[in-house]
C-alpha cells in the first residue's frame, strides 16, 4: 500500500515537473524581452502553486543584476505589485532576505513573527497573513527570488513548500537562460551605440579636415577643445556639427575656446 502510494506521488511529481518545464519553455519562446518573461513567470507561479490544495496565492519575482545596481520586479497582479512595493519601500522582508542569503524564508503568521515588524504590519493591512520566499539560482552577477503571499496564516504546509521549491528549481533554469539572452542583447545594443557614436565623430573629423584643410589629429583636437570649452561630450559636438550640414551651406569650422 505504501509502495503504491509512494509510486503514485512520484508519478504525479514527475508529471507536474514535465508540465512546468513545457510551460517555462513556452514563456521563453513567447516573451519579447526579460520584463515580459518575468511578468508571465509571476503569473505562472501564482497559477501553478494555487492549483493544488485550493490555495489563493499572489506571487512576485525580484531580479537583481550587478550587485544591486539594477532591480527588476514583476508581479502576478496589481495586489501582488502593491505587496512587493511595500517590501522595497522598507528594504526588508522575506523576498529580499531570500535574495540576499540564498535561503528559503517562511513567514507562517504575520501577527506572531518578530522579524521586520513594520513591514509585516503593512502587509497585514493589505490582507496577507503568511509569506514564502525562495531564491532562484542564477549566474554570479545576478540574484533573484520568488515571493509568494498567502491570505491565511499557516497557508504553506510541507507539501506546498516542496511544490514551490520544485517550481523555483525549474524557474531558475529558464530565468538563467532569459538573463543571459538579455545580457547578450544589451551588449550588442551598447556596441551598436558605441559604433554609431564613433561614426559620428569620424564624420565630424572628416568635415573639419575638409573645411580647414588640416590633419586628422588637428581636426580631432578642434573637437576636443570645443568639448572642453562647452563642457559637453565630444560625441555631442560631433553630432551637432554633422546635423548642421543639413541646415546650412558648408563653411569653415571654428569653435570658440
pLDDT value for 122: 94
The torsion of the CA quartet 80, 161, 61, 139, rounded to 10 degrees, works out to 170
Closest of 218, 223, 228, 217 to residue 201, by C-alpha: 223
User: Is the residue at 142 inside a domain?
Assistant: yes
Residues 63 and 105 in one domain: yes
Query: Pick from 165, 186, 207: which residue ends a domain?
Result: 186
Residues 93 and 192 in one domain: no
Residues 205 and 227 in one domain: yes
Residue by residue, pLDDT tens for the chain (257 residues) are 455 544 443 444 445 667 777 788 788 777 777 788 888 899 988 888 875 556 678 999 998 876 555 566 888 999 998 998 898 889 899 999 999 899 999 999 999 999 999 999 999 999 999 999 999 988 777 889 999 999 999 999 888 898 899 999 988 888 888 777 665 554 444 444 444 445 677 778 888 887 888 888 888 888 888 877 888 777 788 878 877 765 543 344 444 44
Residues 105 and 223 in one domain: no
User: Is the residue at 256 inside a domain?
Assistant: no
Grid coordinates 541646415 are at which residue?
247
Specify the 3-state DSSP secondary structure of 52.
coil
Query: Pick from 186, 204, 236: which residue ends a domain?
Result: 186
Range of the domain at 169: 2-186
Based on the structure, what is the number of domains in the chain? 2
Distance (Å, whole) CA 101 – CA 27: 27
pLDDT value for 126: 93
pLDDT value for 71: 65
Specify the CATH number for the domain of residue 196: 1.10.10.10
Residues 102 and 216 in one domain: no
User: Is the residue at 252 inside a domain?
Assistant: no
Residues 13 and 75 in one domain: yes
Distances (CA, A) of 159 to 25, 49, 145, 168, 173: 25, 11, 20, 14, 22
pLDDT value for 247: 53
Residues 148 and 24 in one domain: yes
Residues 193 and 157 in one domain: no
pLDDT value for 69: 52
What confidence tens digit (pLDDT) does each residue in 53-66 have?
566 789 999 988 76
Residues 171 and 193 in one domain: no
User: Is the residue at 249 inside a domain?
Assistant: no
Distance (Å, whole) CA 36 – CA 47: 17
The torsion of the CA quartet 115, 117, 123, 127, rounded to 10 degrees, works out to 100
Phi-psi region of 33 (alpha: psi -120 to 50; beta: other; left: phi over 0): beta
Residues 176 and 198 in one domain: no
Amino acid at each position: 500500500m505504501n509502495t503504491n502510494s509512494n509510486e503514485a506521488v512520484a508519478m504525479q511529481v514527475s508529471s507536474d515537473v514535465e508540465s512546468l518545464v513545457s510551460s517555462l519553455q513556452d514563456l521563453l519562446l513567447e516573451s519579447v524581452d526579460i520584463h515580459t518573461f518575468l511578468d508571465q513567470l509571476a503569473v505562472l507561479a501564482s497559477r501553478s502553486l494555487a492549483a493544488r490544495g485550493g490555495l489563493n496565492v499572489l506571487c512576485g519575482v525580484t531580479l537583481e543584476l550587478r550587485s544591486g545596481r539594477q532591480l527588476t520586479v514583476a508581479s502576478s497582479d496589481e495586489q501582488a505589485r502593491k505587496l512587493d512595493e511595500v517590501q522595497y519601500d522598507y528594504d526588508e522582508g522575506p523576498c529580499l532576505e531570500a535574495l540576499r542569503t540564498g535561503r528559503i524564508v517562511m513567514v507562517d503568521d504575520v501577527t506572531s513573527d518578530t522579524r521586520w515588524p513594520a513591514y509585516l504590519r503593512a502587509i497585514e493591512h493589505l490582507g496577507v497573513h503568511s509569506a514564502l520566499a525562495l531564491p532562484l539560482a542564477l549566474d554570479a552577477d545576478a540574484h533573484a527570488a520568488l515571493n509568494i503571499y498567502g491570505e491565511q496564516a499557516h497557508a504553506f504546509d510541507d507539501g506546498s513548500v516542496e511544490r514551490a521549491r520544485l517550481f523555483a528549481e525549474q524557474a531558475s533554469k529558464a530565468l538563467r537562460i532569459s538573463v543571459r539572452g538579455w545580457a547578450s542583447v544589451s551588449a550588442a545594443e551598447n556596441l551598436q551605440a558605441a559604433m554609431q557614436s564613433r561614426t559620428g565623430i569620424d564624420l565630424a573629423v572628416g568635415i573639419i579636415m575638409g573645411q580647414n584643410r588640416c590633419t586628422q589629429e588637428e581636426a580631432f583636437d578642434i573637437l576636443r577643445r570645443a568639448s572642453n570649452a562647452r563642457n559637453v561630450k565630444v560625441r555631442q559636438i560631433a553630432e551637432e556639427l554633422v546635423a548642421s550640414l543639413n541646415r546650412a551651406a558648408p563653411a569653415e569650422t571654428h569653435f570658440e575656446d
